[in-house]
Structure 1
Amino acid sequence: MNKLAAQDRDRILQCLHTMPMTVAQISQQLHLSTARVSGIVQILKSEGLIHAPRCTTGPRGKPVNLWEIHPSLKSPE
């Protein structure tokens, strides 16, 4: 993974540490394209770092994944 991709990956993880988010929400917050965020999210999912146990309704009325940090990686509160 190149340096820029690693930085984006870390920024996405930081977002998800604050609250569960959709790809669109992450894209808006970080000013990244939806395609870029979606690609990185799939990598993070395959690495077991995040998961989407819930869905929400997207702007077009379709279900979208609500991504969050995998429970085994969350720090105790």
Structure 2
Amino acid sequence: MNKLVLGVDVGGTKIAAAVVTGEGKVISRGYGSTSAQAGPQVVIDNIFATIDRAISSSNVALSQLAGIGIAAAGIIDSE
């Protein structure tokens, strides 16, 4: 099987995650709400839940992933 990666996009209002082959073929996707107004821990929990949705619908084990890329809008840590 091709090398697989997990991509995560954390936006201001939504989160998207996808398991993708090295050639760019999308195997599965997961979506969720950022819910930034609820605080940082809720955002983190929502990121993990979205990743779980993408992974579980892909029938791919975490150990099969070659890597993960995360893109986020705005400042992650101002310090």
Q: Same fold (TM over 0.5)?
A: no
Of structures 1 and 2, the one with the larger relative CO (CA 8 A, separation 6+) is 2
Q: Which is strand-richer, 1 or 2?
A: 2
Q: Which is helix-richer, 1 or 2?
A: 1
Structure possessing the higher radius of gyration over alpha carbons: 2
